[in-house]
């Protein structure tokens, strides 16, 4: 048999455990993964420069469900040619996630391009938890021919 003090201690311990267990965990509604993906990257533009093709785009600030996004981690850039389809070209990491002022636009310079060739680009946004946006619109450009300077 247990003494009254041992029984009291057991009851108190169980009550504390139950109270702590109910205080743990998520306090907001759980959202399905397809709603916490970033919105599609917009305003993708490809431009010929002296050194290659510069691709620029706007930063998504909201999840698909419309809530504010703070965990944007990177952008994945794909490049393709008419003959070969799209392939991963680069990943641009986000380094301003914890800053008050965040970049609104991003740029990537593709220097591995050949004059006269056509290229297509599209961008995906990625969160820290590796949720991916749907692909951006495909942007097509032909690399300008380089004219020699006199």
Write the pLDDT tens digit of every residue in 45-94. Answer: 999 999 999 999 999 999 999 998 888 999 999 999 988 889 999 999 99
Task: Write down all domains in the chain, each with its CATH number in brackets.
Answer: 33-142 (2.60.40.10)
pTM of the entire predicted model: 0.74
Mean pLDDT score of the chain: 84
The DSSP string of 68-103 is: B---EEEEEEEEEETTTEEEEEEEEE---TTSSS--
| pLDDT surpasses 60 at 130 | yes
């Amino acid at each position: 048999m247990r003494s009254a003090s041992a029984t009291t201690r057991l009851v108190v311990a169980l009550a504390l455990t139950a109270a702590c267990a109910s205080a743990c965990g998520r306090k907001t509604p759980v959202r399905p993964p397809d709603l916490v993906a970033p919105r599609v990257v917009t305003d993708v533009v490809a431009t010929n420069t002296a050194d290659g093709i510069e691709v620029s785009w706007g930063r998504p600030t909201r999840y698909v469900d419309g809530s504010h996004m703070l965990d944007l981690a990177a952008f994945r850039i794909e490049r393709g040619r008419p003959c070969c389809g799209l392939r991963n070209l680069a990943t641009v990491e986000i380094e301003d996630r914890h800053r008050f002022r965040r970049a609104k636009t991003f740029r990537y310079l593709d220097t591995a391009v050949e004059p006269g060739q056509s290229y297509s680009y599209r961008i995906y946004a990625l969160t820290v938890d590796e949720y991916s946006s749907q692909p951006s619109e495909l942007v097509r450009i032909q690399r300008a021919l380089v004219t020699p300077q006199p």
